Amino acid sequence: MRAPAGVALVTALTVALAPAAPAVADEVRDRQYWLDAYGVRDAWAVTRGEGVTIAIIDTGVDGTHPDLAGAVVDGTDVSGLGSSDGETPVGSDGNAHGTMVASLAAGRGSAGGAGVIGTAPAADLLSISVGFGEGETDSDEQIADAVRWAVDNGADIINMSLTRNTLEWPESWDEAFLYAMENDVVIVAAAGNRGSGTTSVGAPATMPGVLTVAGVDRRGSASDTASTQGITISVSAPSEDLVGAVPGDGHVAWNGTSGATPIVAGIVALVRSAHPTLDAANVIQRLLATAKPAGAPGADPLYGYGIVDASAAVREDVPLVDANPMGDLAEWVRINRRADAPPVPTPSAAPLPEPTPIAAPEASEPLGTLLPTLNQLREVGLPALVLLLFGAGLIALVVLAVRSFRSLRNSE
């Protein structure tokens, strides 16, 4: 069943819509506690995300913000509401959302060590503006179109700080997300926020193969309001006391897995840059295998495989895997969509045997007299011939005896 409002942003819970008023030039940077606590600065000694492109499917990214100068290399609008480059924020509500998200993934910061710097500050960005509940096409189709455009225009990673608020998703997403996965793109999606009414993860965070991000507070505990739960959660990242850039030149404080997701997308970019030969499945495996344990072993419904560690994900030796540890979307589609597909005739397991020909009956002798033929006599043999002659002789003796008896009576 489709949510009445269609796809929605994983909205921030506490957003100051006016710029924060820093006492010193670098207060915004000082608020970014995750850079040290989550091993991001240490990972920068190896790479800062060079050569990797992150697509931001959101409300549009203001590439003119000082913290994002040079970060946005291309973009588009799939809503019919924004500019063709995707850099004009769209939507009546939350139009700052895309810029906030982008700054946490690949913000460049500002001069003098001020401003927001993303976890992958050397990565490139694609801005794809979507009208959530607005636009020329419905939100579901806009998302499908946005995913395809991102793949066709060089995305290595797609950030989706949004939710459908339902476990299921439309078939158009099957095709679009499979297209991304078949082209080795890592899709990173937000789990959602209890404070926004999302009590459990919704699509795209429920889709097999997607890297789903939950949120924790500054102590590393699952956030009560700025996260949610679900069995498809992959890793956890900071979702409270965040700071981000907003259109123009301002900054805001905010909470939500909308912010945790680009932090992780930037870490994925670090891994892809440091290990360019790895496919998407092994990039995801690196984040899962190196996450700091939290919650129950394995895929915990609050923390996933643990709290993300950027330095370990980039530096540690991790055994390779043959398949995406977050599941196989193609297999899910094969099993769950097959009832909707028309029946297709298939050959039997083994070919049918060739028919065995029926032998024609042998030609018989033509019918004739009742007397035996010479061939029949030959088949009968000598014993039968002797019996036949004996019988004929006996009959002849009887005939002679009868005639003799009649002659005697007549002479009397």
Residues marked active site are found at 58, 97, 258
3-class DSSP assignment, residue 388: helix
Contact between 155 and 183 under an 8 Å Cβ cutoff? The reply is no
* Contact present, 157 and 126 (Cβ < 8 Å): no
Q: Pairing relation of β-strands 53-58 and 114-117?
A: unpaired
Please state the separation of Cα 329 from the chain's center in Å. Answer: 2
Phi, psi (deg, nearest 5) at residue 57: -90, 105
Cα–Cα distance, 232 to 188 (Å, whole number):
12
Classify the phi-psi angles of 2: left when phi > 0, otherwise alpha if psi is within -120 to 50, otherwise beta: beta
CA distances from 395 to 221, 225, 383, 391, 409 (A): 128, 128, 19, 6, 22
Exposed / middle / buried, residue 329 (Cβ in 10 Å: 0-12, 13-18, 19+): buried
Structure tokens at 218: 């500054």
- Cβ atoms of 9 and 162 within 8 Å: the answer is yes
Amino acid found at 205: A
Please tell me the total number of residues recorded for the chain in this structure. 412
**Cβ contacts of 340 within 8 Å, gap of 6 or more:** 171
Burial state string for 196-231 with b = 16 or more CB within 10 A and e = fewer than 16: bebebbbbbbbbbbbbbbbbbbeeebbbebbbbbbe
Provide the residue type at 24 as one letter: V
How far apart are alpha carbons 222 and 242 in whole angstroms?
Answer: 15
Distances (CA, A) of 303 to 158, 294, 297, 357: 21, 6, 10, 71
